[in-house]
A and B are shown apart, each in its own frame.
Chain A
Amino acid sequence: MKQSLSRTLAAGTILSSLLFTGSAGAQSAGDDLLKMEKNAANVVMPTNSYNNQRYSGLDQINTRNVGKLQVAWTFSTGVLRGHEGGPLVVGDTMYVHTPFPNSVFALDLNHEGRILWKYEPKQDPNVIPVMCCDTVNRGVAYGDGKIFLHQADTTLVALDAKTGAVVWSVKTDDPGKGATGTEAPMVIKDKVYVGVSGGEFGVRGWLAAYAIADGKEVWRAYSEGTDKDLLVDPQKTTALGKPIGADSSLKTWEGDQWKIGGGDTWGWYSYDPQLNLIYYGSGNPSTWNPKQRPGDNKWSMTIFARNPDTGEAKWVYQMTPHDEWDYDGVNEMILADQEMGGRMRQLLVHFDRNGFSYTLDRATGELLVAAKYDPAVNWATKVDMDKSSPNYGRPEVVAKYSTEHTGEDANTQGVCPAALGTKDEQPAAFSPETGLFYVPTNHVCMDYEPFRVSYTAGQPYVGATLSMFPAPGGNNMGNFIAWNARTGKIEWSDPEQFSVWSGALATKGGVVFYGTLEGYLKAVDAKTGKELYKFKTPSGIIGNVMTYEHGGKQYVAVLSGVGGWAGIGLAAGLTDPHAGLGAVGGYAALNNYTSLGGTLTVFALPPS
């Protein structure tokens, strides 16, 4: 079945001949979006705005009245799998997406969410088991009167936003090899940008730009390979201020391992229209057994800044060279301008899976701050910030927690964070009002044992066993924190029983929202973290909270529907292998708190 699937779907991976020809033609969609994203009534992109701040200028709901919030209406998606991402609101229409089968609903906000149209693709179900960690999808993008969806089977489809009719459809990769679509696309100017999932199947990562008019591939930039494949200029593309030089990726892999080297691009994308740069991160190198792939494995685990017109990389920064723990670098890049050292800086702030928060100058890629955002993080003591050091910008790895050092068929114990990271894909928010970042985090550690694994196309290529347990010193598996990216300090921290796996939302009303795995939507005071409101939705929340205004009234909406990696790792509860005999077995099992099922819950204040 796999083979017939790969034959059918093999088209579409061919590199476009249009590399480096730049963009011409209509710029209307992107220009519209630049205007539309400033209208707080709408949410026209899955990241809320190009800068990924997830901040809303709406303030009807504020710290004084949020305690009175009520459910205004609900909507069942009819799908049981994990619901990541969140809906869009464009004018009078809300667009809601689901996990596999990747349905999209257009709901009429003028008529209490009546269904205007529904799109449900027919996909080969053989794609289901090649999706690592549940059949999630993180949302749709809007632009040029179209809705863009990257389906599980790597079909990128453009739908007429008014009717749901397919305008064009293109295959971006081959699910027969384990490549899948889970991320939310982004529209910039006349192109739509998508990446790929499949780090557990040896899929080589890429970011690609497609013309929104007809779906033609304009450029594709790989995370690993030749300079041509990477779309880098060895002299002009820099890493920490220095040119990366020729064959920067090839030199860091043994033989042609880079061809199955991972570095997938399933996270969020952000864009700075002034600098004209698109930012994103690449994931883990394949396999999880570091002994099997000597070298730095560039450019996995890397922040990329690329020209969205040509794809050419302006700068790169590899956070975790030669990964030994599955610390994907795909988490969102939040673009914020803040004063540092007496002057305004154009910052990029990134909360990495590896437990460090990185603050960089987003114009140049200069590293300004790298600090642990969970005190439990122990795999590295710090990131070397000495510009004259040969290890500048590299983590100082602790031998005891190095799975490379401990070696194959041996168990490296007590590594913090676990492979799911101090934070996974669930995006943080930034409030320009407080100058703070609001970060949903995991507080979980692991034992990790790498071993030899062989590669078969379309089969898992993992090569490590790991067991997870809550970080020492408490029973809470998560925290929701407020972070100062200029000082690298936690301002306040709210402990949560389970990992916080929902995207946060900051608002001008001084309220920050997030969801919990038990299913609570919570509202807290942005200044203090004090809980102001909570409501238990039908299932665990791994979606992102959003807010919009319709008919002069502010609404808050979130998808619930437990699943994803959180649902797999935490469903049965964790046990601590080091607790010793006699310890009460295990911590809270998510199974005892919530069950499957996708629902959108929309909140509003009662009529005054």
Chain B
Amino acid sequence: MCWPARDGEIPVPAFFFRGQDVRRILHLALAVGLCLSGAAYAVTDGSGDPAAVKSDDGKWADKDGNPTFKVEPDGTVDFYTYVGFTRYSAECLRCHGPDGMGSTYAPALMDSMKHLSYSDFYGTVAGGKKDVSASQELVMPAEGENKNVMCFIDSIYSYLRARADDAVGRGRPEKHAVKPASYEKTEDQCMG
């Protein structure tokens, strides 16, 4: 049973959105599909509305406290999301391809983010995943003990969320916010 969805919202048939944001309709359609299969309901992406509402020294969160991105009208990307690009490219690209777009080897995470919630994402990254079928064996390693991933998991999530939402394009974000004062200390504490 997956009714109603989070925050008391009621899934509305797609035609109610006539003339409005087409992507929103597509996401809704996807959400209804997932609902039938028992997965989480989503409006904008797997964690709901990605709008940034709270900042902890430059680290943004949505209204539910999930990590998210903040892109200024001039295209400046928040620092954590920018770090997410660099860490994604170092740790995830080797299988999932450049810019979250997938490869011959592993799925496009910018698409996965449209239905994975933050906790789904965190669980899969930390614990790994196996999808073994007759035709192929897909195995995502457990990164729970990998500091190069886990110290940056919120940044990587924000980056992929921004990719899923088309808020950040392909390649390195051209402009990013200055490094927050607390960033270095946080990274040092985690990396040890």
Task: State whether these chains interact.
Answer: yes
Residues of A within 8 A of B (CB): 1-2, 79-82, 100-101, 125-126, 128-130, 132-134, 200, 288, 411, 447, 449, 451-454, 456, 459-468, 562-563, 567-569, 571-572, 574-575, 577, 585-586, 590, 596
Contact B146 A462 (CB under 8 A): no
B40 at the interface (CB under 8 A from A): no
B11 at the interface (CB under 8 A from A): no
CA distance A81 to B135 in the complex (A): 10
B29 at the interface (CB under 8 A from A): no
Contact A129 B95 (CB under 8 A): yes
Inside 8 A of B145's CB, which chain A residues have their CB? 456, 459
Contact B137 A100 (CB under 8 A): yes
Inside 8 A of B146's CB, which chain A residues have their CB? 456, 459-460
Contact B148 A453 (CB under 8 A): yes
Contact B91 A562 (CB under 8 A): no
Closest Cβ of chain A to B101, distance in Å, is: 4
Inside 8 A of A461's CB, which chain B residues have their CB? 148
Closest Cβ of chain A to B94, distance in Å, is: 6
Q: Which of B2-10, B56-64, B102-110 contacts A (4 or more CB under 8 A)?
A: B102-110
Residue in contact with B90 in the complex, picked from A128, A453, A468, A563, CB distance below 8 Å: A453
CA distance A2 to B94 in the complex (A): 19
Interface residues of B in 117-160 (CB under 8 A from A): 128, 130, 132, 135-143, 145-149
CA distance A568 to B107 in the complex (A): 11
CA distance A592 to B191 in the complex (A): 40
Most buried by B among A129, A461, A569: A129
Inside 8 A of B104's CB, which chain A residues have their CB? 81-82, 134, 562-563, 567-568, 571, 590, 596
Contact A465-B90, Cβ < 8 Å, known A454-B148, A459-B146: yes
Residues of B within 8 A of A (CB): 85-87, 89-91, 93-95, 97-99, 101-105, 108, 128, 130, 132, 135-143, 145-149, 169-172, 191-192
Contact A452-B191, Cβ < 8 Å, known A1-B142, A467-B98: yes
Contact A133 B97 (CB under 8 A): no
Extra pairs beyond A569-B97, A577-B172 (14, CB < 8 Å)? A81-B105, A82-B105, A125-B130, A125-B137, A453-B148, A456-B147, A460-B94, A460-B146, A462-B90, A467-B89, A568-B105, A571-B102, A574-B98, A585-B169
Inside 8 A of B105's CB, which chain A residues have their CB? 81-82, 133-134, 563, 567-568
CA distance A235 to B98 in the complex (A): 47
Contact B89 A568 (CB under 8 A): no
Contact A575 B102 (CB under 8 A): no
Closest Cβ of chain A to B192, distance in Å, is: 7
CA distance A271 to B154 in the complex (A): 51
Most buried by A among B101, B105, B191: B105
Contact A568-B94, Cβ < 8 Å, known A81-B105, A459-B145, A460-B148: yes
CA distance A236 to B46 in the complex (A): 64
CA distance A451 to B89 in the complex (A): 12
Inside 8 A of B148's CB, which chain A residues have their CB? 453-454, 456, 459-463
CA distance A467 to B101 in the complex (A): 13
Inside 8 A of A449's CB, which chain B residues have their CB? 86
CA distance A40 to B170 in the complex (A): 49
Closest Cβ of chain B to A87, distance in Å, is: 22
Nearest to B89 among chain A residues (CB) is: A465
Contact B192 A454 (CB under 8 A): yes
Closest Cβ of chain A to B105, distance in Å, is: 5
Contact A464-B90, Cβ < 8 Å, known A1-B142, A129-B95: yes
Contact A572-B139, Cβ < 8 Å, known A451-B90, A460-B94, A465-B85: no
Contact A575-B103, Cβ < 8 Å, known A1-B142, A464-B90, A467-B89: no
Closest Cβ of chain B to A202, distance in Å, is: 12
CA distance A460 to B128 in the complex (A): 14
Residue in contact with A447 in the complex, picked from B132, B136, B172, B192, CB distance below 8 Å: B172
CA distance A451 to B86 in the complex (A): 9
CA distance A261 to B87 in the complex (A): 21
Inside 8 A of A454's CB, which chain B residues have their CB? 147-148, 191-192
Pairs A–B under 8 Å by Cβ, sample size 29: A2-B141, A80-B136, A125-B132, A128-B137, A129-B139, A132-B94, A134-B105, A411-B172, A447-B172, A449-B86, A459-B141, A459-B145, A461-B148, A462-B90, A462-B94, A463-B90, A467-B172, A563-B105, A567-B103, A568-B93, A568-B97, A568-B105, A571-B102, A571-B103, A572-B108, A575-B171, A577-B172, A586-B170, A590-B104
Closest Cβ of chain A to B86, distance in Å, is: 4
Inside 8 A of B97's CB, which chain A residues have their CB? 568-569, 571-572
Inside 8 A of A577's CB, which chain B residues have their CB? 171-172
Inside 8 A of B135's CB, which chain A residues have their CB? 80
Nearest to A288 among chain B residues (CB) is: B90
CA distance A129 to B143 in the complex (A): 11
Contact A466-B94, Cβ < 8 Å, known A81-B105, A128-B139, A563-B105: no
Inside 8 A of B90's CB, which chain A residues have their CB? 288, 451, 453, 460, 462-465
Inside 8 A of A563's CB, which chain B residues have their CB? 104-105
Closest Cβ of chain B to A260, distance in Å, is: 14
Closest Cβ of chain A to B113, distance in Å, is: 16
CA distance A133 to B98 in the complex (A): 13
